[in-house]
Amino acid sequence: MNVRDLERLFTAHGVGAAKMDATTRKLRECGRLPVGGRGPNAPTIGFVEAATILVAVAGSAKGNEADARVGKLASLRCTSGDYESWSLPEVLAQLLSDPATLHGLAEVRIARIKKRATIHFKDGRVEEFLDQKPDTRVDRFDVEGILPVALLDLIASAIRDEDRDASRKTTKRK
């Protein structure tokens, strides 16, 4: 899977094409995504890059804010549970790479204004990612981007299928 494939998945699920293009362009410019050829020569992405794009899209209202929001949200650490002290992108990448855990997920909520995120599981468990310094300003609206499990599952499947195809090609060459 390359970035354009991921952009198409997002636009099919309601994210504007202009926002996706601006988001991935900003992440590429800042070195968070691979840069390379186009079309069949485009570099592939894995779970880590997909997690970065997920955080950028859900955590920012505009594409040109993507790198700044990823920087702020990547500094968040899980406060308890199975992923204690893991960063948000690390946990998302882990969830994408593990189909069993991904199927136990209900949704991921990422704040667009505050530095906060939560991962909700079907069994009622919630993993919280909070800033070390709590935000004491109560006059701010809490706006969140929500990542549905169906989209996460499509992304994870596409990356796994790409990895499987790549390993078959290298095996045939030997």
Note whether residue 173 is domain-resident: no
Per DSSP bridges, beta strands 105-111 and 144-148 are: antiparallel
pTM of the model: 0.89
* Sign of the CA dihedral running 59, 65, 70, 76: negative
Instruction: Tell me what pLDDT residue 43 has.
Output: 86
Would you say residue 172 lies in a domain? no
Within-domain flag for 174? no
pLDDT at 82 over 90: no
On the question of pLDDT at 81 being above 90, the answer is no
Is residue 31 over pLDDT 90?
yes
Task: Tell me if 125 is assigned to some domain.
Answer: yes
Structural domain range at position 96 = 3-166
Predicted confidence at residue 131, as pLDDT, reads 84
Q: Is residue 23 part of a domain?
A: yes
Residue 165, pLDDT score: 72
pLDDT at 138: 64
CA–CA dist 23, 154 (Å, integer):
20
Q: Is residue 171 scored above 70 in pLDDT?
A: no
Please indicate, yes or no, if residue 123 is contained in any of the structural domains. yes
Whether the CB-CB separation of 6 and 47 falls below 8 Å is answered with: no
Domain assignment of residue 64, yes or no: yes
Question: What's the domain count of the chain?
Answer: 1
pLDDT of residue 173: 53
Give whole-number Cα distances, 5 to 20, 48, 87, 132, 160, in Å.
11, 16, 25, 35, 13
Instruction: Annotate 109-163 with DSSP letters as a single string.
Output: EEESSSSEEEEEETTS-EEEEE-SS-----SS---EEEEEHHHHHHHHHHHHHHH
